[in-house]
A and B are shown apart, each in its own frame.
Chain A
Amino acid sequence: MQYEAVIGLEVHAQLLTGSKLFCACSTRFGAEPNTQVCPVCLGMPGTLPVLNAKAVDYAIMTALAVDCVVNPISVFARKNYFYPDLPKGYQISQYNEPLSSRGRLDITTESGQKTIGITRIHMEEDAGKLIHGEGADENYSFVDLNRAGVPLIEIVSEPDMRVADEAVAYLKALRDILVYLGVCDGNMEEGSFRCDANVSIRPIGQAALGTKAELKNINSFKFVKDAITYEIQRQIDVVEEGGKVIQETRLFDSTRGVTVSMRSKEEAHDYRYFPEPDLAPLVVNEADVERLRENLPELPEAKRSRFGDAYGIPAYDAGVLTSTRALADYYEELVRLTDEPKLSSNWIMGEVLRLLNGNGLTITGSPVKPSAIAELLAMIKDGRLSNNMAKEVFEEMFKTGKTAEDVVKSKGVAQISDEGAITGIIEAVIKANPENLERYRGGKDKLFGFFVGEVMKAAKGQANPATVNKLLKEKLNG
Chain B
Amino acid sequence: MDLTSLTVHELSGLLQKREVSSVEAAQAYLNRIASLNARLGAYITVTADEAIEAAKEADKRLLSGASSPLTGVPVSVKDIFCTAGVKTTCASKILERFIPVYDAAVVARLKDAGAVILGKNNMDEFAMGSSTENSAFFPARNPWDLQRVPGGSSGGSASAVAADLSAASVGTDTGGSIRQPASCCGVVGLKPTYGRVSRYGMIAFASSLDQAGPITKDVTDAAIMLKAIAGFDPLDSTSVDLSVPDFPCLLSGGVKGLRLGIPKEYFIEGMDSQVSASVNDALDCLKKEGALIVPITLPHTEYAVSVYYLLATAEASSNLARFDGVKYGLRVGAANLIDMYKKSRAAGFGAEVKRRIMLGTYALSAGYYDAYYKKASEVRALIKRDFDEAFKVCDVIATPTCPTPAFKLGEKTQDPLTMYLSDIFTISCNLAGIPGISMPCGFTKGKLPIGLQLLGRPFDEATILRAAYTFERTAGIGKEKPAL
A residues touching B (Cβ–Cβ < 8 Å)? 39, 42-51, 78, 80, 82, 84, 87-90, 143, 270, 272-274, 277-280
4 nearest A-B residue pairs (beta carbon): A89-B321, A272-B364, A277-B207, A277-B208
**14 pairs, CB–CB < 8 Å, chain A vs chain B:** A39-B101, A45-B100, A46-B82, A46-B201, A46-B203, A48-B235, A80-B318, A82-B324, A84-B324, A87-B322, A143-B327, A274-B315, A277-B238, A277-B315
Interface contact B237-A45, CB-CB below 8 Å:
no
Question: Is B371 positioned at the interface, with any CB of A under 8 Å from its CB?
Answer: no
Partner of A50, one of B237, B322, B341: B237
With A88-B321, A90-B318, A272-B318 as known contacts, state yes or no: A46 contacts B237, CB within 8 Å: no
Asked whether B98 lies within 8 Å of A87 as measured between CB atoms, the reply is no
Question: Which chain A residues lie closer than 8 Å to B337 at the CB level?
Answer: 84
Q: Mark B304-319, 1 if CB is under 8 A from A, else 0.
A: 0000000000110110
Q: Which residue of A lies closest to B374 (CB)?
A: A274
Contact A45 B88 (CB under 8 A): yes
Residues of B close to A278: CB separation below 8 A: 204, 207, 237-238
- Give how many B residues have a beta carbon under 8 Å from the other chain's beta carbons: 44
Given A45-B95, A46-B200, answer yes or no on A143-B237 (Cβ-Cβ < 8 Å). no
Judge whether A44 and B100 touch: CB under 8 Å.
yes
Minimal beta-carbon separation of A92 from chain B (angstroms):
11
Q: Output the nearest chain A residue to B373 by Cβ-Cβ distance.
A: A274
In the complex the two chains form, is B235's CB within 8 Å of A50's CB?
Answer: yes
The smallest beta-carbon distance between A23 and chain B, in angstroms, is 9
Q: Is the CB of A80 within 8 A of B364?
A: yes
Nearest CB in chain B to that of A49: its residue: B237
Interface of B is mostly: loop
Q: Judge whether B236 is part of the interface by a CB distance below 8 angstroms.
A: yes
> B322 touching A45 by the CB < 8 A rule?
yes
Q: Which of B310-343 contact A (CB under 8 A)?
A: 314-315, 317-318, 320-324, 326-328, 337, 341
**Residues of chain B within 8 A of A44, CB atoms compared:** 82, 100-102, 328
User: For B202, what are the chain A residues with a Cβ–Cβ distance below 8 Å?
Assistant: 46
Known: A84-B326, A274-B315. 7 other contacts (CB 8 A): A39-B101, A45-B95, A49-B237, A78-B318, A89-B320, A272-B369, A277-B238
B interface vs A, CB < 8 Å?
81-82, 88, 90, 95, 98, 100-102, 104, 199-204, 206-208, 234-238, 314-315, 317-318, 320-324, 326-328, 337, 341, 361, 364-366, 369, 373
Residue in A42, A45, A47, A270 with the greatest tally of chain B CB atoms within 10 Å: A45
CB distance from A93 to the nearest CB of B (A): 13
User: Which residue in A39, A42, A51, A274 is a CB contact (below 8 Å) of B364?
Assistant: A274
In the complex, which residue of chain B has the Cβ closest to the Cβ of A272? B364
Could you tell me the distance between the alpha carbons of A78 and B322 in the complex, rounded to whole angstroms?
13
A47–B318 alpha-carbon span in the complex (Å): 14
- Residues of B near A49 (CB, < 8 A) are 237
Whether the Cβ atoms of B207 and A51 lie closer than 8 Å is no
Interchain CB contact under 8 A, B82 and A45: yes
Residues of A within 8 A of B238 (CB): 48, 277-280
Q: How far, in whole Å, are A50 and B238 apart by their CA atoms in the complex?
A: 9
Contact of B237 among A51, A87, A272, A274 (CB under 8 A): A51
Residue from A46, A84, A87 within 8 A of B204 (CB atoms): A46
Q: Is the CB of A89 within 8 A of B237?
A: no
Residue in A closest to B325 when the chains form the complex, CB atoms? A84
> How long is the Cα–Cα vector from A50 to B327 in the complex, in angstroms?
22
Nearest neighbor of B126 in chain A, beta-carbon distance: A45
**Known pairs A45-B82, A277-B207; A82 contacts B341 (CB<8 A):** yes
CA distance A199 to B315 in the complex (A): 35
Docked pose: A42 CA to B234 CA in angstroms: 19
CB distance from A160 to the nearest CB of B (A): 28
Partner of A89 from the list B88, B102, B199, B324 (CB cut-off 8 Å) is B324
